Amino acid sequence: MRRTTLPPILLLSVLAATAFSGCAGPSRTFRTTPSAKPPIAAPAAKPPIAAPAAKPPIAAPAAKPPIAAPAAKPPAISVSDKMYSEGMAALEEGGYERALELFAGAWQEKPGHAGVAREFDGALLALKKNGDAAYAQGKLESAGKQWMGTLRFITHPAANWHGYPFTRSEVQAKIDHLSAALIEKALTKYRREEIRLAIADWKTVLSYDPRHEEAARSLRTASKQLETLKKMPPGK
């Protein structure tokens, strides 16, 4: 008898079926595991919200410069010190009599003023010396005024006249001599009918010694005569 040979492929199929059916137990239901879903993509992360730009810090207002305390006022100068300072200024300018007047005022406001006590004598000595120099130069009116000023202040409480190189009587004698000389010159001119020149000399005496009675009387007489002459017609 001739064996029929199955093709290899068919043979494998039969064997497989047989093996399957013999070995098969109760039928089992196999659950097909669902295919895994692909992972859900996470939503794209939103870009971080940029924080608002920080505002620049508000600059603090510029500090006001401290208010300077008002300058302390210098202490008020007393009347006596003010007069003394003015007297020193007059002294530096050669106004000796004016300086003495101011020193005397300062002393009256403050008796014993140290500055006046220190400067008074020097100013008085200079005044007398200037009077002597003016007389030597023929400046009779200036000499008379400065000698009279010396007499006026030589007895002042601030004057240490005991140590002066002259006395009050000696200064008075100089004034008397000057006045007598001027009055004599005036009378001589008056007799020569030089009335205007005579009047000028009497006025010089009165410029430094307003209380000189003889000069004042002669001046009144000469002035009246001069007015009378002015009223007279020419040629008489």
Question: Which residue range(s) make up the domain with 212?
Answer: 168-236
Boundary residue ending a domain (166, 185, 219): 166
How far, in Å, CA of 102 to CA of 41, rounded? Answer: 114
Taking the C-alpha atoms of residue 15 and residue 229, their distance in angstroms, rounded to an integer, is 195
201 and 232 assigned to the same domain? yes
Indicate whether 121 and 173 sit together in one domain. Answer: no
Is 165 in a helix, a strand, or coil? Answer: coil
Please report the pLDDT score of residue 67 as a whole number: 75
215 pLDDT above the threshold of 90: yes
Residue 56 above 80 pLDDT?
A: no
Domain boundary among 139, 166, 193: 166
Residue 146 lies in a domain: yes
| 186 has pLDDT over 90 | yes
Domain membership flag for residue 121: yes
Residue 122 contacts residue 113 (beta carbons within 8 Å): no
Clarify whether residues 200 and 159 are in a common domain. Answer: no
Q: Domain boundary residue among 166, 188, 216?
A: 166
| pLDDT tens digits along 118-147 | 999 999 999 999 999 999 999 999 999 999
Reported as a pLDDT band with limits 50, 70 and 90, residue 87 is very high
193 and 222, same domain (yes or no): yes
The answer to whether residue 222 sits within a structural domain is yes
For residues 156 and 116, membership in a common domain is answered with: yes
- Alpha-carbon distance of 212 to 87, in angstroms, equals 30
Number of domains the chain is built from: 2
Within this chain, do residues 87 and 162 fall inside the same structural domain, yes or no?
yes
As a whole number, mean pLDDT of residues 82-100 equals: 97
Decide: 205 and 215 in contact? Cβ < 8 Å.
yes
Q: Are residues 202 and 130 in the same domain?
A: no
203 and 173 co-located in one domain: yes
Own/partner long-range contacts of 115-121 (Cβ < 8 Å, ≥24 apart): 115/81, 115/84, 115/88, 116/84, 116/87, 116/158, 117/158, 119/87, 119/88, 119/91, 120/153, 120/156, 120/158, 120/159, 121/158, 121/159, 121/160, 121/163, 121/164
User: Which residue from 186, 152, 190 is spatially nearest to 171, judged by alpha carbons?
Assistant: 152
Greatest pairwise CA separation for the chain in angstroms: 223
Q: Which long-range contacts (CB under 8 A, 24 or more apart) does 227-236 make?
A: 229/195
- Asked whether residue 113 falls in the same domain as residue 158, the answer is yes
Other beta carbons within 10 Å of 131: 27
**Do 175 and 161 share a structural domain?**
no
Q: Residue 65: inside a domain, yes or no?
A: no
Query: For residue 69, is it within any domain?
Result: no
Q: Is the pLDDT of residue 44 over 70?
A: no
CATH number for the domain spanning 181: value is: 1.25.40
Q: State the SS3 of 79-139.
A: HHHHHHHHHHHHHHCCCHHHHHHHHHHHHHHCCCCHHHHHHHHHHHHHHHHHHHHHHHCCC
Residue 1 is predicted with a pLDDT of 42
In this structure, is residue 103 part of a structural domain?
yes
The answer on 153 and 113 residing in a single domain is yes
Residue type, 17: A
pLDDT at 104: 98
Who contacts 14 (Cβ-Cβ below 8 Å, separation ≥6)?
6
pLDDT-above-90 percentage for the chain: 63
Query: Which residues are CB-neighbours of 125 under 8 A, at least 6 positions away?
Result: 164, 165
- 101-123 pLDDT, tens digit each: 999 999 999 999 999 999 999 99
11 lies in some domain: no
Q: Are residues 127 and 140 in the same domain?
A: yes
Q: Is residue 22 part of a domain?
A: no
